[in-house]
């Protein structure tokens, strides 16, 4: 459940962008064929970008 309107779409775009940056081809909808390594690299890239964004906002 996403509380903020539009947040789900924004998170989905963010996920697709992170996947592209690490070279994983995500498709809209079901992506259950990804390996754990691929899924982890996407999540790791998302966290890395969130930390960078936070650090930049503190400057």
Answer for the pair 18, 49: CB distance below 8 angstroms, yes or no: yes
pTM of the model: 0.82
Q: How far apart are CA 14 and CA 43, in angstroms?
A: 10
Q: What is the CA radius of gyration of the chain?
A: 13
Q: How confident is the model at residue 20 (pLDDT cuts 50, 70, 90)?
A: very high
Instruction: Choose between 1 and 56: higher pLDDT.
Output: 56
Q: How far apart are CA 33 and CA 10, in angstroms?
A: 23
Q: Does residue 46 have a pLDDT over 80?
A: yes
Q: Which two tokens stand for residue 55?
A: 């650090």
Give pLDDT, residue 1. 57
């Amino acid at each position: 459940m996403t509380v903020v309107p539009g947040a789900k779409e924004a998170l989905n775009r963010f996920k697709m962008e992170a996947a592209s940056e690490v070279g994983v081809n995500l498709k809209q909808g079901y992506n259950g064929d990804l390996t754990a390594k691929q899924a982890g690299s996407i999540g790791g890239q998302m966290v890395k970008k969130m930390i960078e964004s936070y650090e930049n906002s503190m400057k």
